Amino acid sequence: MTYCTNRRLRTPLCDVLGCDVPILLAGMGGVSRWELAAAVAKAGGYATLGMVREDPDFIESEVIALRAATDRPFAVNLIPAATDSGLLDAQISRCLDLGVGAFSLFWDVVPQAVERVKKAGCLVLHQVGSTAAAREAEAAGADILVAQGLEAGGHVHGRMGAFALAAELLDETRLPVVVSGGIADGAGLAAALAMGAAGVQCGTAFLATDESFAHPCHKARIVDAAASDTVLTDIFVLNWPAGSAVRVLGNSVTAGLGANLLGHDPRRLPREPISWDGNAARLRYSTDSPLRTTTGNLEPMPHYAGQGVGRIRDVVPAAVRLQQMASEAAELLAHLAAQSSEDGDVP
């Protein structure tokens, strides 16, 4: 059963994506699997499967499971610049064979990837961290721009705040602009809609939910953390291009860096297994975060979190998180409208 939204929250983006409220689930690798995606979609939001560098057979199993759970539209998140070209080709081919109708892309704009899925009639959401990247994405054919700010958890491509970047994009493009980074409650959603954005994308807020595939220890750290507990570093860079910064909760690895959080060369980092997912080793300094299936030493792994983490105080079903966010935003926007009306009546 879907969430019945207040009309005040509905934007044209909802019609484009086929959702009830303009709240998008970020395509968190390993975390945004079918169970979380289905929960967000059924609650009225827009779901994204986080399939970065996943085997095409696994992608197929996730798509089939998601479709069995809901007939709501969804996107598949891929990272062309961080994926071997052969694997990327196979991922896209499998998605197109499955009839996937939308792709969420991130990091450097790879025009060939955008053009390929657009030629197949697919919708393209492209997450960007700068106005320059936004121009590249729009020129390549993107339909929706996701303005990711420095506050975001996980991989962070730009160095601007989310709302500052969104404001620039709203001045430059006619494409729908979605705000992403540090948004974990209705106040963030209301602020985004009030500035003219089409919606918001949330990661951390949905990581700390029952359906998230993150390890319980990761969820517990989210609940206990404040915004000041997050750090931006490129020490967790194995599996990604050099210089790829991530926002994580501080741990023994980041504490050992002191002030030297950025500037690490992956070629000089040791390949030391510290944990496992089945037979797959997880290396110290890799981008792999602890999942439900992960065993071993989890503390040194990256526990991704955005600066909105201080607004999250419990682990709840994804539908509850989304409904709380939507209800709070609707109340805030109604209050602003009433206040504006009252101010307009003053002679």
Beta bridge partner(s), residue 220:
none
Residue 18 amino acid letter: G
pLDDT digits (tens, 9 = 90+) for 72-92: 999 999 999 999 999 999 999
Instruction: Return the residue matching tokens 């598949």.
Output: 76
DSSP code, position 323: H
Beta bridge partner(s), residue 127:
146
Average pLDDT on 315-331 reads 97
pLDDT digits (tens, 9 = 90+) for 231-280: 999 999 998 999 999 999 999 999 999 999 999 999 999 999 999 999 99
* Domains defined along the chain, listed by start: 11-213 (3.20.20.70), 216-309 (no CATH)
C-alpha distance from residue 143 to each of 77, 125, 177, 281 (Å) = 15, 6, 10, 38
Question: What pLDDT is attached to residue 103?
Answer: 98
pLDDT digits (tens, 9 = 90+) for 109-155: 999 999 999 999 999 999 999 999 999 999 999 999 999 999 999 99
- Angle at which helices 56-69 and 34-42 pack, to 10 degrees? 30
